[in-house]
Structure 1
Amino acid sequence: MRSFSWSRLSRRVKQASIMGIVMLLVALLCIGQLVRIQLIDGASTAQAATQNRTVKAVLSAKRGKITDANGAVLAQSVERYTIIGNPEAAQDFEPTTCTTRTRGYCHEIDGKPLQTTGVAAVAQLLAPVLGMNAAELGGKLSGTGQYAILKKDVTPEVKRKIADLHLGGIVYGELSNERIYTNGTLMGALLGGVDDAGKGVAGIEQIEDKTLTGTDGYQIYQQGNGGEEIPGTMTDAKDAVDGADVQLTIDRDIQWRVERILKDSQAKYKAAWGIAVVQDVQSGQILALADTDQIEAGSDDAKLNVARSVSQTFEPGSVGKVFTMSGLVQEHLHQMSDKFTVPDSLTLDGQTYKDSFNHGAERWTLAGVLEQSSNIGTILASDSFSDQKRYEYLTKFGIGQPSGLNLPGESQGLLTQPQTWDGRTRNTVLFGQGYTVNALQMTNAIAVIANQGVLKPQSIIKTITTPDGKSTTPEQKESTRVIDEEASKQILNAMESVSEHYSSQGFAGVKGYRVASKSGTAEVAGPDGKLSSLISDYSAIIPADNPRFVVTVVLKDPEGSYGGLTAGPVFAQIGEFLMQKYEVPNSPQRKNAIPVEW
């Protein structure tokens, strides 16, 4: 039997004591760290964790709609999503195998488990839903950072399918809006388009951008590991306010029909282009503003190009005689019944002028001068009509003045001061040469005669309606009187004789309705810089007995040349359609026509 060793026992006790002390120190250190974390750093640690989970989600405001005069939608924003990927999370992705326990939150393709992990697995799952190539997606998810745009303008349906892939925290959707134009090329360049940020950059979209643009809202909340909102954690929110809706005066049905007639006529007359305007006489509202350019609304072309119907300027030709004769009658220099003997040419101050056709010394009244569109008769009647008065009346009719519609790219034409006119220009301005207009200006100038001598402001915006349903009408400039009622009656009477002249030849009449009109033909510079091109135009009031509409048609280089023979028949088709659409009663038989000959 071995003897008991007190020394050995002493060493073991000592060792145990040391171990106990060490363990006690470790325990005290852990307790101290726990106390520090929970009591001293607890608030800041919790705050950091909360901040890490807190997100501010933007609530995108919808851009307002653009509608026609009857509420038909021309442009609208629809709910879309931008799909975002988290590359760092994608690279760490481990698919969950589908079992009875994981069913409903697992990953498989066609009922089979994935054979890959990371970016490749995410791309395999996502590619069929987004309709993209898996390799392309993989490339976008292989970068650095936590934010990569995978695809824009995704529909809510596709976004829901992505949610069913259970890739929360790796792939998610940010709400956005896509601008949709529902009528293709109808009013394409006139409507314009928006840029990638949703800002109007052309056409109606541009001039009404501030009205159409809403104010984004937001939500601040905490999200879970899957990117989902943790219930009850929302701390702040502000609703998005959508943009206001803009209703145009343009009637989609009229616009469509006018564009169709123009395109057919362009082909028939082999014209380079065509423009047409339809204006309501009483309100000044533009019901159609059309041209033959085929541009898709919202396209790059629509964003880069201005509507020809707005920007194109031209010499009005003999339509300008209406403004000259209005001034002559208003200034009491002549009545439309005054008699003239008119040759077919005239040399004045070293300048020779001719009519468009050869004739002998004709005995025409001033109404007859307008009916026959005689340059010579117009010059003879204007011998006491000063240069300042010639300029003044053109200006009063709106020539050389902005239309007030503020459409992007609109040109106000060119009308120089009378002091700059040479010996020839002072006379050519009498019959619509030596200055330029656009189709909107010319239409409203003729509308002065339809409105008994009053120039009314044009409009293309009918109402603005805010998201709360409040509608307002944009303010209009005041109407101004250009000539008195008696003078306008005389000019209207003579213009009706012009229309009868063409109608009797089977060109520009509208069966059952009286029309007051004026045609124009002007030589313009062609590509070679010479006067090798023609502008043919026709502006008409229908019905002449109770004016409802003014229609202007302009053709460039049509076969047939003269405005009454080319643009006139185009007007006739438009006028017939308007009379049918609005069920306008037939005109009574004309009486008291001013004689055109003596």
Structure 2
Amino acid sequence: MKGQTGLMASIRNWYRPRAFLVKCVAIGVVLAFVASACLAQLVAIQLIDGQTTAQAATQSRTQKVVVHSMRGRILDTNGTVLAQSVERYDIVGDPWAVSTFSPIDCGTTKAKQAGFCHSVNGKPVGLKGSAAVARMLAPVLKMDAKELGAQLTGTGRYVVLKKNVTPTVKRAIDDMHLGGVVYGLLTSQRVYANGTQLGALLGGVDDSGKGVAGIEQMKNTLLTGTDGYVVYQRGNGGEEIPGTTTATKAAVNGSDVTLTIDHDVDWYVKQALKEGQKKTGAAWAIAVVQEIDSGEILALEDTDDIKAGSDQAKLTTSRAVSETFEPGSSGKVITMSGLLQTGLHKATDKFTVPYSFTKDGQEYHDSSQHGSERWTLAGIIKNSSNVGTVMASSRYTNKQRYEFLTKFGIGQSSGLNIPGESCGQLGTPESWDGRTSNTVLFGQGYSTNALQLTNVVATIGNKGVRRQQSLIKSVTDANGRTETLPEGTSTRVIDEKVAADVKDAMESVAESYSKVVSVKGYRIAAKSGTAEVAGSDGRLTSIVADFTGVIPADNPKFAITVVMKDPKGTYGGMTAGPVFAQIGEFLMQKYNVQPSSPRKNAIAVDW
């Protein structure tokens, strides 16, 4: 028994140190396995996933920022800016970042370390998060602090606080050191220089900067630039990390469009129209000024008070191109042109003209009672006789009547491509009834607009050659290359001698109005017109009065048309005529036009 006890003790003594060794080895093996696993994971992160992780980190810092292009300018013929885009900024907040914002009080160690501090009117902000940022921004953005705080509250990353602020406001916000919390995005704002002048004609752009009306729409493709971009990495404060730019594309600004419009002339024309409207009580008035040699439109105005770029301008077409009307007796110059060009009559042919005249069961009469008058064809035009015009046209076929109306541009587009332009209405000879076939001789039974009517008299002033009217003078791209648009087509409508005789008759018309329509030192050749049009009740209860012509008559430089709706005084010569003369006088002075020579050898109007 004693021997067994000793044996067991010997065994325990032998096993105990060895068991401890086994445990140590086991623990060592486990630790070695854990270390190996950590090493393997470290190797995987550093060598296998390292590139992917680095790329993910880089991507999280990388931002592609759009570099906005500027829309091209619209200029007048002398380079005066009518419309342009100016530098503006949209102020954007990051609500998620704002929630963690804690202002740094001035004078603290933290402020010294950061190199900046936050305050409101020199005092500590006193708040944190959205309330603090709102309190700082409110005075600069001129907004309510509570409203700003509400916008800046949330988990989103992007909210526009205010659009189109000036660079001055943007710099003031930059000085607040809110980088990564609030920042400005470069954009632009379309501004117009002249209030209601050319308002509807210039039109406007939508929120995206696209032209939606007027010239802005008409030349949108040219005016629109191409945005660029820059790709770089941002720091925690939202700032660009130097040297991290990886890709760029320069923005290309839109082209500048230069009009034929002369700002000074157009301004004066609008004032003259306003004065004429006030004197006559007209519902509205329109005027066009065209340079005869070139066909360029120098002024295109009306009395509407519409500001360029306004919602109204975006929804309204310029009355000067959209309003159509019967020209009334002004249309007789087309009839005289056709009668002379076809050889049916000479300007000196003699007629005995009664007050009223019946043809094919239809009665025609003049505007005022008179006995049988002995007038030449030129006298019929001077006295604006409907009866004489119908009598003189007995052999003038419907086909010829239609032919010369269309040759002069009646019922056709001006070719200017202005959005909303109305071409008027001119039926075909087959559609004319027995009365309409004669009323078209004296400007009724069809409608026209002020641009068309202006080009009729400009054609006569241009020795019978009709020029394509133009409104766009040139286009200058972002690199400064200017392309002057080619002149439009020219078409001979009537012979030079015919044009001279018609102009002579028109000069006799102007002389008959010399007490109210005159420009000292300059001769005028013109025609007045008055036509009944539908009123608000749908019946022929309204009047359109017009006066259109060229000045100087002996060497025509400009064609002018003035149109009025429901003026007191009714007749075009008495209402629209004085405005014509006022505009004509300004043109003669502005362009220093040589005075007219005395009139000689006028075509007889009586016999």
Shared fold, TM over 0.5: yes
Aligned counterpart, 2:143: 132
Q: Secondary structure at the match of 2:568?
A: coil
Aligned counterpart, 2:386: 375
Asked if 1:54 is matched to 2:24, the reply is no
* Partner deviation per Cα, 1:312-360 (whole Å, 9 max, x = no partner): 0000000000000000000011111111110010111111111011110
Give matches, 1:59-70, under 5 Å: 59-70=67-78
Q: Secondary structure at the match of 1:377?
A: helix
Q: Secondary structure at the match of 1:445?
A: helix
* Distance change >3 Å, CA 128–CA 12, structure 1 → 2: farther
Q: Supply the distance in 1 between the matched residues of 2:226 and 2:408 (Cα, whole angstroms).
A: 42
Aligned counterpart, 1:573: 582
Give matches, 1:183-194, under 5 Å: 183-194=194-205
Q: Supply the distance in 1 between the matched residues of 2:358 and 2:592 (Cα, whole angstroms).
A: 50
The Cα of 1:301 is off from its aligned counterpart by 0.4
Q: Supply the distance in 2 between the matched residues of 1:563 and 1:487 (Cα, whole angstroms).
A: 25
Aligned counterpart, 2:84: 76
The Cα of 1:97 is off from its aligned counterpart by 3.1
* Distance change >3 Å, CA 385–CA 193, structure 1 → 2: same
The equivalent position to 1:528 in structure 2, one of 534, 537, 552, is 537
The Cα of 1:11 is off from its aligned counterpart by 9.0
- Structure number with greater Rg is 2
Alignment length (residue pairs): 592
Amino acid at match of 2:581: A
Give matches, 1:203-214, under 5 Å: 203-214=214-225
Aligned counterpart, 2:4: none
Q: Supply the distance in 2 between the matched residues of 1:230 and 1:9 (Cα, whole angstroms).
A: 64
Amino acid at match of 2:274: K
Aligned counterpart, 1:495: 506
* Partner deviation per Cα, 1:1-48 (whole Å, 9 max, x = no partner): xxxx99999998888777766665554444333222111110000000
**TM-score normalised according to structure 1 size:** 0.96
Give matches, 1:579-598, under 5 Å: 579-598=588-607
Q: Supply the distance in 2 between the matched residues of 1:114 and 1:28 (Cα, whole angstroms).
A: 54
Amino acid at match of 1:85: G
Asked if 1:556 is matched to 2:565, the reply is yes
Give matches, 1:466-545, under 5 Å: 466-503=477-514, 506-545=515-554
Q: Secondary structure at the match of 2:83?
A: strand
Structure 1 residue ranges without an equivalent (≥5): none
Aligned counterpart, 2:7: none
Aligned counterpart, 1:321: 332
Q: Supply the distance in 1 between the matched residues of 2:479 and 2:349 (Cα, whole angstroms).
A: 61
* Distance change >3 Å, CA 469–CA 434, structure 1 → 2: same
The Cα of 1:493 is off from its aligned counterpart by 0.7
* Partner deviation per Cα, 1:477-526 (whole Å, 9 max, x = no partner): 311110001100100111111111110xx111111100000000001111
The equivalent position to 1:451 in structure 2, one of 462, 469, 477, is 462
**TM-score normalised according to structure 2 size:** 0.95
The equivalent position to 1:331 in structure 2, one of 339, 342, 345, is 342
Q: Secondary structure at the match of 1:75?
A: strand
* Distance change >3 Å, CA 102–CA 15, structure 1 → 2: farther
Say whether the 8 Å CA contact 2:463–2:500 is kept in structure 1: yes
Amino acid at match of 1:555: M
The Cα of 1:270 is off from its aligned counterpart by 0.3
Amino acid at match of 1:589: P
Q: Supply the distance in 2 between the matched residues of 1:531 and 1:318 (Cα, whole angstroms).
A: 17
Say whether the 8 Å CA contact 2:470–2:488 is kept in structure 1: no
Q: Secondary structure at the match of 1:352?
A: strand
Q: Supply the distance in 1 between the matched residues of 2:520 and 2:25 (Cα, whole angstroms).
A: 123
Aligned counterpart, 2:3: none
Greater shift, 21-30 or 177-186, is seen at: 21-30
Aligned counterpart, 1:85: 93
Q: Secondary structure at the match of 1:494?
A: helix
Q: Supply the distance in 2 between the matched residues of 1:470 and 1:570 (Cα, whole angstroms).
A: 40
Say whether the 8 Å CA contact 2:459–2:465 is kept in structure 1: yes
Superposed CA RMSD in Å reads: 1.8
Identity value in percent:
61
Q: Supply the distance in 1 between the matched residues of 2:155 and 2:452 (Cα, whole angstroms).
A: 58
Structure 2 residue ranges without an equivalent (≥5): 1-11
The Cα of 1:163 is off from its aligned counterpart by 1.4
Say whether the 8 Å CA contact 2:104–2:110 is kept in structure 1: no
The equivalent position to 2:166 in structure 1, one of 155, 170, 186, is 155
Q: Supply the distance in 1 between the matched residues of 2:138 and 2:17 (Cα, whole angstroms).
A: 74
Say whether the 8 Å CA contact 2:213–2:314 is kept in structure 1: yes
Give matches, 1:236-315, under 5 Å: 236-315=247-326
The Cα of 1:206 is off from its aligned counterpart by 0.3
Amino acid at match of 1:445: V
The Cα of 1:590 is off from its aligned counterpart by 0.5
Amino acid at match of 1:79: E
Q: Supply the distance in 1 between the matched residues of 2:124 and 2:39 (Cα, whole angstroms).
A: 46
Aligned counterpart, 2:181: 170
Amino acid at match of 1:89: A
